[in-house]
Amino acid sequence: MYETVADHESAMRAAREAAGRAYAPYSGFNVGAALVTGGGALYAGCNVENASYGLSMCAERNAVGAMVLAGGDRRIEFVAVHSPQVAPCLPCGACRQVLKEFGCRAVVVEERGRLRAYSFEEILPNAFGPEDLRS
């Protein structure tokens, strides 16, 4: 899924649409994520579970995979995350680390009926990242 957008509302719409395609027969917990790059491209992902539970993949990391595969700008401005089961739906720890890899600046979630943007530093403070390997 790929289109050009810039704002939080459009990205959240894409995240909701992606959540509708989740494959989550084991947890029953659907998640959709839509990230926007510095260049304004949008990539979405949903969670995809597996009968071998540990192989399940989160929506956010599937969106990152779509971005990398597309071969364009890989700087993530923000990611919007939606689950019909819970709000706010914030990324798990593993996804936070993967988003950090591509410089994600903010995470947008639904909170008390509206959108809220958390700065990345708020949700993954003092993180280890690619710059630490270059010092």
The pattern of x and - marking residues 69 through 108 that bind ligand THU according to CB under 6 A reads ----------------------xx--x-------------
Concerning whether 77 is annotated as a catalytic residue, the answer is: no
Q: Is 39 exposed, middle or buried (0-12, 13-18, 19+ CB in 10 A)?
A: exposed
Angle (nearest 5°) at CA 115 between 119 and 81: 70
- At residue 133, the 3 state secondary structure works out as helix
Q: Where in 22-61 is the site for ligand THU (CB under 6 A)? A: 24, 27, 29, 31, 47, 49, 56, 58-60
Tokens of 44: 């979405």
Site residues (CB under 6 A) for ligand THU? 24, 27, 29, 31, 47, 49, 56, 58-60, 91-92, 95
